[in-house]
């Protein structure tokens, strides 16, 4: 490809400097080479455009995936926070019940008395 290009460029320079009378000195083979080069360049350009579109699509897909993952994590954090609030509420409710329950105080008091009595009895 580079050799063909150099050959054509050399002939074009000769024309430009008047060393060849005109482009008519190009033969059909030279024009075929030029056309082949142009076709290759157009093919490369189409491939590059296709790659560029693929990259844009890939970036957009990546952005969607990252956004979805972030939204999932935010939703998970909200669910966990909700569970923690529920647990705190339930703990507070149990704590209030224990504080306000006379029977619970009686049972706890009785348990302490039994423990102290047990320690005193077994100590002897």
Q: In this predicted model, what pLDDT tens digit does every residue of 35-72 receive, in sequence order?
A: 777 788 888 888 888 889 999 999 999 899 989 999 99
pTM for the complete prediction? Answer: 0.40
Domain boundaries, the chain: 2-123
Q: Dump the DSSP string for 60-103.
A: HHHHHHHHHHHHHHHHHHHHHHHHHHHHHHHHHHHHHHHHH-HH
CA 96 to chain centre: 47
Residue given tokens 């430009």 in the structure block = 16
Write out pLDDT tens, residues 70-112. 999 999 989 998 888 888 888 777 767 666 666 666 777 777 8
**Is 63 within 8 Å of 38 (Cβ atoms)?**
no
* Residue that wins the pLDDT comparison between 80 and 114: 80
**Is 40 within 8 Å of 1 (Cβ atoms)?**
yes
What integer pLDDT is reported at residue 124 of this predicted model?
58
d(C-alpha 85, C-alpha 36), whole Å:
73
Q: Among positive and negative, which fits the CA dihedral 100, 106, 111, 113?
A: positive
């Amino acid at each position: 490809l580079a050799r063909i290009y150099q050959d054509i460029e050399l002939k074009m320079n000769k024309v430009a400097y008047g060393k060849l009378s005109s482009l008519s000195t190009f033969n059909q083979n030279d024009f075929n080479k030029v056309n082949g080069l142009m076709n290759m360049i157009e093919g490369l350009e189409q491939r590059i455009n296709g790659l560029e579109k693929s990259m844009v699509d890939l970036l957009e897909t990546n952005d969607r995936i990252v956004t979805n993952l972030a939204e999932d994590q935010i939703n998970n954090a909200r669910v966990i926070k909700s569970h923690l609030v529920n647990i705190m509420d339930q703990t507070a409710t149990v704590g209030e019940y224990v504080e306000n329950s006379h029977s619970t105080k009686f049972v706890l008091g009785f348990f302490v008395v039994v423990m102290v009595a047990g320690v005193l009895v077994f100590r002897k």
